[in-house]
Amino acid sequence: MTYGAGRWPGSEAGMPAPPGWQPHTEPPIEPKRRRWPALVAAAFLVGTLAVGSWAAISLTSGPATSPSHPQVASVSAGIVDVNTFAHTLGQGDQLIPVGAGTGMVLTADGEVLTNNHVVQGAWKIEAEVPGGSTYTATVVGVDPTHDVALLQLDNASNLATVTPGQATSISVGDQVAGVGNALGHSGPPAVATGAVTGLNRSITARDPNGSAEKLTGMIQTDANIQPGDSGGALVDAEGQVVGMITAGSDQNSSTSGRTTGFAIPIDTALTVVDQIHSGGGTTILMGERGYLGVGVRPLDAATAQRFGVSDGAMVVGLDTGGPAQQAGMTAPAVIRSIDGQPVTSADSLGPLLHSHTPGESAVVTWVDASGQHTATIQLIAGPAV
């Protein structure tokens, strides 16, 4: 199975390629076609409960009605399609579409809330607002731990915004609606109604590329959440946003055949936004991060034996003219440390690099066919974390 042209999304972030991934040379897909079923999946996490069971969820009484059409319509005006693009490692700067997700407009001048995994690995981000206008978006800051990202739409003004509510106001059994860019279709947001089936849930969410993250405090719903809805709104019966859609599951939440989706409480997401506004926190990454110019995946047994190592991030491709290539790195290679900190896996490489901003240098140690090397490498601006 192939993922993208020449590389998979998130390679620069140190995320491992999925099993069976192979580069290919098919011509780029035109962004306006929007028929990206395999690519849309890159912006969708599949949730599995870390503890407990999908069944035995009892519903308490709640409002008898779902959010009405006028209430959903008022939210839909502040929902944007978030489309991401990346270039192929080693083949210049040509951009190809790699994912589609959703965002919520927080301010009239274009601040947009979405998931970190929606924009992760993107070299270019575009947001299409209701009515068809498209804006280039830049990353203000992200919190990978909470899967939150804040974007700024360039030269935006007079945009409709969503109305945040309070996640603490909802109970199990309350009727809700998920509003988002389901399946990456252009046009008005899709709406999926359902009920709250759980609160304060902990999940391990995995995307189709195999990366995973642990999320806590989640709102669970039986609304039919779809790939592409990530970053969209979970709306209560009053038309207020109580959560940001983050994950869905292909498993049933009960024997009745209900689907299952998860949302980050809006209070949690907006707390992260406040931290970004104030300049960051312990889990916040502000603006552009340092980029080494490598594509990595988990170390396989054959490469480990060949280079005499037991762990590290296996380099499978380099950006032509990028920092790593200019420092003399070749592929295959295994990165062993950054600034003296051990790189124990492909997943551990990204956080070590992301502590640097463009222009800063990192001391990189790697092993290849000619032996071990250490070089001080100046990093450049790279894709979204």
Angle at 19 (CA atoms; ends 18, 24), nearest 5 degrees: 75
| Other CB atoms within 10 A of residue 55 CB | 10
Inter-residue contact 175 to 65 (CB < 8 Å): yes
Residue with tokens 């709102």: 219
Measured torsion, CA atoms of residues 255, 260, 266, 270, in degrees rounded to the nearest 10 = 140
Report the chain's terminal Cα–Cα distance, integer Å. Answer: 25
95: β partners:
87
Q: What share of the chain is helix, strand, coil (3-state, %, to 5)?
A: 15, 35, 45
C-alpha–C-alpha distance, residues 56 and 265, integer Å: 23
Give the gyration radius of the chain's Cα atoms: 21
Q: What are phi and psi of 3, to 5 degrees?
A: -130, 100
Angle at 119 (CA atoms; ends 113, 125), nearest 5 degrees: 90
Closest CA relative to residue 43, chosen from 79, 3, 78, 2: 3
Residue 146 among the catalytic residues: no
Catalytic one of 87, 117, 354, 356: 117
Catalytic one of 147, 207, 222, 229: 147
Helices (H), the chain: 37-40, 69-76, 116-119, 266-277, 301-307, 323-326, 346-354
Catalytic one of 11, 230, 249, 253: 230
Residues 6+ apart with CB under 8 A from 38: 3
C-alpha–C-alpha distance, residues 247 and 217, integer Å: 13
Inter-residue contact 232 to 240 (CB < 8 Å): no
| Other CB atoms within 10 A of residue 347 CB | 18
Residue 253 among the catalytic residues: no
C-alpha–C-alpha distance, residues 264 and 93, integer Å: 35
Residue 354 among the catalytic residues: no
How do strand 313-318 and strand 241-249 relate by DSSP bridges? Answer: unpaired
Residues 6+ apart with CB under 8 A from 67: 175, 176, 177, 193, 235, 236, 237, 238, 239
Cite the active site residues.
Answer: 117, 147, 230
